[in-house]
Amino acid sequence: MPTGPTWNLLADVQQMFALHFMVNAFRAGTIVAVLAGAIGWFMVLRRQSFAGHTLAIVSYPGAAGAVLLGLSASLGYYIAAVAAALVIAAVPRSPSGQSYGEESAVIGTVQAFALASGALFVSLYGGFLNSQTSLLFGTFLGISNDQVVVLLVVAVVSLGVLCGIGRPLFFATVDADVAIARGVPGRLLSLAFLVLLGCAAAAASQITGALLVFSLLVMPAAAAQLITARPAVSFALTLLLAVVVTWLALGAAFYTVYPVGFWLTSFGFGLYVIAAVATGSTKLGRRRRALGPAIA
C-alpha cells in the first residue's frame, strides 16, 4: 500500500499505475464519468433528478437479488435499472390533471419498494454485509478486466443511442409542445431516455455505489449549466468536469483511508458550489453594472 503522496505528481501517478487494480479503477472511472456526464446533462436539463436517483438506488436490490439467485451482480444492476425505468415510464400521466406530485409519488414508491426488496434479499442471503456497504457507497477495489470491458460496451452502446436521439430529445426537452406539434415522438423519446438513464445509473453505481451516483450524474452537469447557457459548450464542459472529478476522487481515495464515494461527492459538490457562487456573483455584478447609471 502507498506510503502517502509525495506531491511529486508524476511519481504519485506512477506509483498508482504500477498497481493493476488502480489502472482498472481509472479505466472504469473514466468510462463511467463520460457516460454519466453525458446522460446526466440531459437529466438535469429535463429536471428528472429524482428519477435518476431512484434508478440508481434500484441497482442495489438488483445486485443483491442477482447474487441471491447465483447470477453475476453486474447483470442484476442492468436488469433492475432497466425494469424500473420501464415502470416509471409506463405509469401514464393522467390525461387531464397530470401533476408532478403524482409522478413523484410513483417514483418514491418504486424507490422505497426497491430498497425494501434489497434489504430482504440481503437478509435472505445472510452474510454479505461488507459488500453491502460497498454496494451502497461504492468501491474502486477489485474491478476486473471483464468488468471494464462490459462497462465499455454499455457506454458505447448508450452513447451511440444518445447520439441518435440527441437532437430530437433536446428539442422535446426545451420546448415539449412545439416539438410534439412538429411530430417529434415525445412519449417514445422519454421512454428511451429513461432506459438510457437506467443504464448510466447502473454503470455508475458500480463505482460510486448506489447512493452516490448523483456525484457523477447531477453535479458536473449542474455546474456546467450554471457556467454557460450554450448547449454544446456546457455539454463538453460536463464531460470534462465529470472526468476530472473522478480522477481526483480516485487519487484521493488511494492515498487516504476514506471511501471513494465521500471524495467523489465532496469534489463534485465543491465544484457545484464554486460554480454557483462564481456565476451568482458575476450575475450580481452585471446587474449592478446595468443598474449603475440609472442609480447614479
Partner 1 sequence: MMVPAVAPWVGLVHMLEIPFLRNALLAGTGIALACGFTGYFIVLRAQVFTADALSHVAFTGALAALAFGVDLRLGLYGACIGLAIIMAALGAVGRADDTVIGSVFAWVLGLGALFLSIYTTARSGAGGGTAGISVLFGSVLGISPADAWAAFGIGLGICAAMLAIARPLLFATLDEAVARARGVPVRALSYAFLILVGLTAAEATQAVGAFLLLGLLAAPGGAAQRLSGKPFVALGLTVVIAVGSVWAGLTLTYLAPKVLPSFGIIAVATSAYVLAFAVSVVRERRSRSGTGPQVSSGLKRGGMLMRRVPD
Q: Find out whether 212 and 234 touch, Cβ atoms under 8 Å.
A: no
Q: Does 234 bind partner 1 (CB under 8 A)?
A: no
Q: Does 8 bind partner 1 (CB under 8 A)?
A: no
DSSP secondary structure string for all residues of 129-194:
HHHHHHHHH---S---HHHHHHHHHHHHHHHHHHHHHHHHHHHHHH-HHHHHHTT--HHHHHHHHH
Of 17, 69, 108, 283, the one binding partner 1 by CB under 8 A = 108
**Spatial CA neighbour of 247 closest among 9, 6, 3:** 9
Of 24, 111, 147, 173, the one binding partner 1 by CB under 8 A = 111
Nearest-approach distance from CB 146 to partner 1, in angstroms: 26
Q: Find out whether 65 and 76 touch, Cβ atoms under 8 Å.
A: yes
Q: Does 100 bind partner 1 (CB under 8 A)?
A: yes
Q: Does 1 bind partner 1 (CB under 8 A)?
A: no
Q: Does 127 bind partner 1 (CB under 8 A)?
A: no
Q: What three-state secondary structure class fits 265?
A: helix
Planar angle of CA 184, 188, 191, nearest 5 degrees: 135
* Amino acid identity for residue 173 in this structure: T
| Cβ proximity to partner 1, 149 vs 278, nearer residue | 278
Q: Does 17 bind partner 1 (CB under 8 A)?
A: no
How far is 47 from 6, CA to CA, in rounded Å?
A: 42
How far is 200 from 215, CA to CA, in rounded Å?
A: 13
| Cβ proximity to partner 1, 193 vs 263, nearer residue | 263
Q: Find out whether 85 and 55 touch, Cβ atoms under 8 Å.
A: yes
Of 83, 119, 180, 248, the one binding partner 1 by CB under 8 A = 119
Q: Does 252 bind partner 1 (CB under 8 A)?
A: no
Q: Does 129 bind partner 1 (CB under 8 A)?
A: yes
Note the residue count of the chain. Answer: 296
> How many residues form the binding site for partner 1 (CB under 8 A)?
58
Of 8, 102, 164, 291, the one binding partner 1 by CB under 8 A = 102
Q: Does 105 bind partner 1 (CB under 8 A)?
A: yes
| Cβ proximity to partner 1, 112 vs 188, nearer residue | 112
Q: How far is CA 250 from CA 14, 19, 192, 258, 286, in A?
A: 14, 13, 31, 11, 38
Q: Which stretch binds partner 1 (CB under 8 A): 76-84, 146-154, 186-194, 217-225?
A: 217-225
Q: Which stretch binds partner 1 (CB under 8 A): 10-18, 93-101, 172-180, 187-195?
A: 93-101
Q: Does 212 bind partner 1 (CB under 8 A)?
A: yes
Burial class (CB in 10 A: 0-12, 13-18, 19+), 41: buried
DSSP secondary structure string for all residues of 21-61:
HHHHHHHHHHHHHHHHHHHHHHHHHHT-HHHHHHHHHHHHH
How far is 171 from 217, CA to CA, in rounded Å?
A: 21
Residues 132-191 that bind partner 1 (CB under 8 A): 132-133, 136-138
Q: Does 296 bind partner 1 (CB under 8 A)?
A: no
Nearest-approach distance from CB 47 to partner 1, in angstroms: 6
Give the residues lining the site for partner 1 (CB under 8 A).
44, 47-50, 52-53, 91, 94, 96-97, 99-102, 104-109, 111-113, 115-117, 119-120, 123-124, 129-130, 132-133, 136-138, 209, 211-212, 214-215, 218-219, 222, 257-259, 261-266, 268-269, 272
